[in-house]
Amino acid sequence: MAARILVIEDDPNSRELMRFLLGRSGYGVTLAEDGAAGLAAARRDQPDLIISDIQLPELNGFEVAASIAADPSLRHIPLIAVTASAMAGDRENIIRSGFTDYVSKPIEPETFVVQIAQYLPRRDGA
């Protein structure tokens, strides 16, 4: 069974690029356009990994991370930030805020899936 990844991204071009790259690599992808919809999708679908932008409408990425950390049914899911605003020192703040790690925007199509795959749980036979 393919790993299921939730992408929470408000920019349509970035969202579609991530969906394409992850889908082409065989992952099941669910998309959400804002933080509130992303949190609802996470609760409904229980994905194997969540990728979230930081700057989102409704709930921002930090609020999404706090909600996931507070939810016992979600807190085990790796949460990767995808952000254009990652400067020196931001990684520590992002990790401290509940994210597992982050990937800088613009994403690199050649390396994005490899960067993300390392956070997916290993499955028997994988």
Q: What is the CATH number for 103?
A: 3.40.50.2300
pLDDT tens track for 62-100: 999 999 999 999 999 999 999 886 666 777 889 899 999
Please report the sign of the dihedral spanned by the C-alpha atoms of residue 48, residue 53, residue 59, residue 60.
Answer: positive
On average, the pLDDT of the chain sits at 92
Residue at 90 is within a domain: yes
Entry pTM = 0.93
What is the predicted pLDDT for the residue at 125? 44
Estimate to the nearest angstrom the gap between the alpha carbon of 53 and the chain centroid. 7
Nearest Cα to Cα of residue 83 among 113, 55, 49, 110: 55
* Beta partners for residue 5, in sequence order: 29, 49
- 126 pLDDT higher than 50: no
Residue at 23 is within a domain: yes
Domain that holds residue 90: 4-117
Residue at 124 is within a domain: no
Asked if 68 contacts 74 with a C-beta cutoff of 8 angstroms, the reply is: yes
Query: Which amino acid type is present at position 54?
Result: I
